[in-house]
Each structure stands twice: as structure tokens, then as C-alpha cells.
Chain A
């Protein structure tokens, strides 16, 4: 991976090739952007609910929750915007061949995203944040709905692009001005690719789960500090109920989604299951690496696994234990199997953990002891960043599993990189993005911490300056 360098080599900055640096930069910047985008997507329904309840019932609890979460939303939105703008230029700066080849297909959706969704969000967020005294109640509630609608719509258009990259159709390769490019032939097919409905539902629901866990964690922390905080007891309940619906749904949906991936991207599916030889596939429920090799090269023979024989075939085919599943041996070039395999396991494992947490919460709620169980409150505080961990690892499965292709079966990632880009420039900007975005995430966590502090002070909870707790989100979720 690394080209050999000597310390004396003046080009040491270029130790990352343009391709590797561009990929790392794209992966890193989108991983950070998606945290904030998912925050907007997932928080929007909570905000609409709190605003609506507040206006309908005039209940002080909802006014408090609305005001707190709108502040979180606003901070997250700004960070989503400032990290989103670099994303929209990186197709050109780092992957110009990709933008040239796919321009006709991805340009339209990206432009619709800007015109239909971003403007809507940005304009009405201005009203939501600064316009309380300037517009009527109705317009105000409507603004919250429009901001949420904008977030869901922007998710839709961006996923139109990504789904097309996974299962491209509706185009034909032609030569124009000496370049081979994809020319749009069927807009409906190109927008509504087979992957899109799967991806959209899974992603929106993942955002809701991630935010429900965040809301639950913050509420649990505040309730723990101040048991009779009525608003936060309510928020905890709402979050548990949301989880109870969304977490099991995600697992059921993910299971069917896996079969769809097997149908459309068998190579990726084989990487997800570390299935090397074509033939019957087992499903590894649990896999423990037995050596260092097994971590970086997970094959059945060097893992200690608890497997269901034939179930991989059963899942992939939808009912046949003996079905043949294509193995990685069929392909010349494979994605980094270990990353895909372990990412998939982290996502699915967390998915089951969330179901367990939801059921535990439902049981306590049924007994009326939700806010009394210290153990549950602590568990929810610890779990608050895990939704994001599942969301990121899921994306790593989707994106890294697609490698070496950037457009499945059509364009390889290393052919999409800029020929004009030097390793030094690419490494320099990668370093800049790493530094700036780490600072950005730290700031976001501090802002959340200050907001929680302010809330606790407002509620009259005793100050917690030194109980050793550093914000509800441990600072580990950036890129795990």
C-alpha cells in the first residue's frame, strides 16, 4: 500500500499516492458529513413532534424539549452545511474522471438536491431559528415541517446517485469528444435503480435509530442527574418507543436487503460473508479471529465461528440450503475483505443490541420503572453514540464492498482519480481535512455538553463539574 520512502526523499509528503489519498479523503470527509446529515434526517421528526405538541397542548415539557433539540439541530445543521460543501466539489477535485463519465447521470440528481432540498432547508431554518416573533404560529410550525421535509428529500436525491453507482442502469456508453462516457438513455430507470428503495428506507430508518439513541442517552443522563425532570422523562419514553419500532424493523429489512445485495452484487455479498469458494455457504453467526491473520484475512479455516450450515445459501437464495453462492475466487480483483466482513458484523451486532435495549426499555416502561433503573439509564448513556457506529460501518460495507469499482461493473476507482493530482497535494489536503474535522467533531461534542450543562443548571440540578463524566458521547465515534 505504501510506496517505500526514505527519510531523505524530499517528496516524503507524497507517501500516499494520489489515489490512496483521494480515497482516504473522500471516505473520511463523507464519514464526518454523514454524521451531521443523519442527525438532521433523524432529528427532524422529533422536532416536528415536539413543536406540534407544544403548539397544540401548550405543555411546558414540550416547549422545553423543542427549544433544546432545535439548538442541537441548528448546530448540527451548520456543521452539515460546512462539511457538505466540500463533498459537492470533491467529485471534481479528486475524482474528475468519475464526474466526467457519470456527469449526465449524477449531475441531474445532485442539482435537484441543491435546488429542491438544500434551499428549502436553509431558507426555512432561517425562519425557524430567527423568525419566532416575525411569523405566525402556523407558518412557524410549517417551517419546522419544511425543514424536515428538506432533509428527507436531500437524502433521497443523494441516494439516487449512490444507488445508481451500486446498480447502474438507464444509460449507454458512448464516445463523445474522444472520451467514453455514460449517456443517459432512460431517466426513469436511471433514477429509480433497483437499489434505491432498499437504500432509502434503510438509511432513513438508520438515521432515526441513531438519533433515538442519542435522544435516549441525553435524556437518560439528565434524568439520572435529576429524577423529576418531567420533560426528560417524557423524552426518554418517546425515544424508547421509537426504538421499539425502528430497531426490529431495521433487522428485518436488513435481512431482505442482504438478499437483494446477493442478487445484484454477488462479489460484495461474498466479501460480507468471507465466502471464498463458490459453493454452499454457511452463515457465521459469531466469528472470533484465532490469529492476527484471521483479522486481516477472515477465511472460514482460520476463524473460530459459530455457524449455521447452509444458512448463507438459504439467505442468499431465499429458501434453499444447498444453493450455490458465488465465491471471491471467481473474481480477479477483490475488495478488502476483512474491512467489509468485520464492518458488516459490527453493524448487525449493534442492530441486535439495539433491539435488546428497546425490549429492555419497553419492559421497564411497562412496569413503570423506566427512570428508576440506574442500570438502564447508564446503558443508554453508553449506547448513545452506537447508532452512529452502526451507520458508518453499514456505509463501509456498501462502499468498500463495491471496490474495486466506483460504478459497479463500469468504472474502476483507480481510473476515476485525477491524473493532474500530485501525491503531495492530495496528502496535504487530506491532512488538512483530518485536522479540521477532528476539531469540528470535538467542537460538536463540546457544544452538546454545554447545552446539557445549561439544561441541568436550568432544571436546578446540582453542578456536576467533576464527576469525571465527559459528555454523553465518548469521543470514539469518528471513524470506528
Chain B
């Protein structure tokens, strides 16, 4: 076995950095894909019509579980490549992490259990569980991420703003996703929520970065004043504005495309702010936290091909469920 797998050297010199990128990629996939699921769940609260609700749930049903697996992929890839970061991050944010997984539990169960019983009260409980879980999960995850990146306490501006920002960007992508998949009657109000949330998100990001520069939280001020961060912020503003224009013109697919770049850019921002450390509070850098060459080489050789296969399944899944939706499922 070890004949073809180097024991003392990484397959390529930069493999630890590649894995930092891979872990961030999984995080980004999660934020983008489950983000619009959260958005659907939050926007669901604005509906009172049973038929519309079922339309939203039909958009959510076939894909959310697969989207959520990106979270597990992120967590386990972090464990496989940077076990100390995985351990410390979760142990240091104990209540947030457990609160987050419980919020995910309520978010997932609500819609699945709803249809099991035809009873108004039952449906109300399930809806409550869906909406509350969908709003709390990105909030808690964002607060956790804010603490991770900026080494800030839970009830501090950087952490709370990150949480609120994640909720806002989820609403943007959720609205764009639904607008692209439902009929114009439903798309109209979504447009309003989507644009409002875009403004809130961009304002939030700018406020967050300003606060961090002023307080120098986690020693990140220098990085924020560097050109990559400026470019990322500019790109986010551009996608937000372009998306809003597309939304107003009724070009919902283009809106969706630019909306989805926002959480992706956010993930890149997280990566830029973290690197070269993986968990600033511990001061551990990528090179210090990474596992030994043999272990990393093995996970690379076995894991990367599978990751490509997974991307192919996702293309298949979204291909099967492309096109507009109706309350009774996917119409042709």
C-alpha cells in the first residue's frame, strides 16, 4: 500500500493548502445550497395560502437533504485534514454548535412530517418548526463563524453581524431560487423581500468589516484593508446590485445566478480572513494543524475522485428537478 503512497512527503508540496481550499469549498457549497433552503423556510412565514405553501415545500422537498450533506462533508473533511481545529472549534463553541444542530433538526422534520396528517393544528406546529429552524440555523451558524474568524465573544458585534448577514444572504438566495421556479404571481412579493435582504446583507457586511477594523478583532484589521478583501467586497456589491436589477426586470434565472455568487464570495472572504491560520484563537496555521503526509495523501487519493462523482450526482439531481414547480410537485 505504502509503496505507491508517499509516507513522509505530501503528494504535492502544497497539499495542506489544497485541503484548506477543499474544506472551504465544502463550506461554500453548504452555504450556497442549504442557504437557499433556509431562505425558503424563512420566506415561508410570509405565506398564508395553503396552495402557495405547498408550492414552496415542493421546491424544497427533493433537494434539501442532499444539500445538508455538504455540512457533514465540511465537518468530516475538517476532521480528516485538521483534527485539532475540528475539536477545538466545536469544543470552544459548545452551546452554539449544539443549538445549531438542533435548529437543523427542527428545520428538517417540520416539512417532512407535515403531510403525514391532515389536521390544521398539526400543520401549524410543523410549519412553526420549519420556519423557526430555518431562521435560527443560519443565525447560529453565522455567530459561530463570526467567533471562529474574528475570535470574538458570542454577544459581540462581529459575531452577531455575521449571524444576521448569513440570515440575510439566505433570504436573498431563497427568494431568487423560488422566483426562478414558481409562477409570476408568487415571484412579485419575493422580489421585494429579495431586494430588501440584499440591501441588508451588503450593509451588514460593510458594517461588520468596519467594526472589525475599528476594534481590530482577531487581529484581522490589516487583512481587511488589503486589496483581496476590497475586491471581494466590490464583487459582492456588484452581484447584489446586478441581481436586484435582474429581479426588477423579471429575469429570474439571471437573478438566481448572481444571488448565488454572494454566499460563495462570502466563503472566499472567510478563507482569506483565516489564512494562513485555520483557527485564529489557537494560532494554529494550516501547516501546524494538518495531519501527517500519509493520512492526507490517503484521503486525497480516495476522496477527491469521489468528490467529483458527487458533483456529477448533484448535476443529475438538479437536472431531474429542473423547471417550474407546482403545489402537487414538479409539473412538466
Contact = CB atoms under 8 A, between A and B. Distances in A.
Are chains A and B native binding partners rather than an unrelated pairing?
Answer: yes
Interface of A: 74-75, 77-79, 81-86, 88-89, 91-94, 96-97, 99-100, 102-108, 110-116, 118-120, 122-127, 129-131, 133-135, 176-177, 179, 181, 183-188, 418, 420-421, 425, 428-429, 432, 436, 440, 443, 447, 450-451
Contact of B109 (A82, A108, A130, A418): A82
11 contacts: A85-B101, A93-B98, A100-B87, A111-B77, A113-B76, A115-B307, A126-B61, A177-B284, A177-B288, A188-B1, A429-B94
A106 B68 contact: no
A116 B303 CA distance: 8
Contact of B65 (A93, A122, A436): A122
B66 interface: yes
Contact of A107 (B7, B90, B291): B291
A127 B294 contact: no
B321 A115 contact: no
B83 A88 contact: no
A103 B87 contact: yes
B299 interface: yes
3 tightest Cβ-Cβ pairs between the two chains A and B: A103-B83, A92-B90, A107-B80
Nearest to A126: B62
Contacts of B117: 450
B320 A425 contact: no
B95 interface: yes
- By DSSP majority rule, is chain A's interface helix, strand, loop, or mixed? helix
Contacts of A129: 61-62
Contacts of A110: 76, 79-80
Task: Determine the main DSSP class of B at the interface with A.
Answer: helix
Contacts of A432: 98, 102
B310 A106 contact: no
B86 A119 contact: no
Given A92-B97, A103-B80, A104-B291, A436 B102 contact: yes
Contact of B101 (A89, A112, A184, A450): A89
B79 A106 contact: yes
Contacts, number: 219
Given A114-B73, A119-B313, A126 B113 contact: no
B292 A183 contact: yes
A418 B91 CA distance: 6
Given A84-B72, A126-B66, 18 more contacts: A86-B101, A89-B98, A96-B91, A103-B86, A107-B83, A115-B73, A118-B69, A123-B66, A126-B62, A131-B320, A184-B292, A184-B294, A186-B2, A418-B91, A420-B92, A421-B94, A440-B109, A447-B116
B71 A92 contact: no
A92 B86 contact: yes
A378 to B, nearest CB: 27
Interface string B34-67: 0000000000000000000000000001110110
A443 B310 CA distance: 32
Nearest to B95: A425
A130 B97 CA distance: 32
Contact of A126 (B65, B92, B288): B65
Contact of A104 (B71, B87, B292): B292
B317 interface: yes
B25 interface: no
A75 B116 contact: yes
Q: Which of A105, A115, A420 has the most CB of B within 10 A?
A: A115
Given A103-B291, A184-B298, A115 B306 contact: yes
Contacts of A123: 66, 313-314, 316-317
Nearest to A104: B295
B216 interface: no
B112 interface: yes
B88 interface: yes
Nearest to B65: A122
Contacts of A176: 292
B302 interface: yes
Given A187-B1, A418-B91, A119 B98 contact: no
Interface in B275-332: 284, 288, 291-292, 294-295, 298-299, 302-303, 306-307, 310, 313-314, 316-317, 320-321, 329-330
A147 to B, nearest CB: 11
A131 B102 CA distance: 29
Nearest to B61: A130
Contact of B306 (A79, A116, A181): A116
Contacts of A183: 292, 294-295
A81 B329 CA distance: 22
B19 to A, nearest CB: 11
A104 B101 contact: no
Contact of B94 (A104, A126, A130, A425): A425
B95 A443 contact: no
A130 B62 contact: yes
Interface string B7-22: 1000000000000000
Contacts of A450: 116-117
B81 interface: yes
Contact of A115 (B5, B83, B104, B310): B310
A5 to B, nearest CB: 22
Contacts of A77: 65
Contacts of B2: 186-187
B89 interface: yes
Contact of A78 (B98, B112, B292): B112
A112 B317 contact: no
B298 A93 contact: no
Contact of A99 (B81, B86, B102, B329): B86
B108 interface: yes
Most buried by B among A135, A176, A188: A176
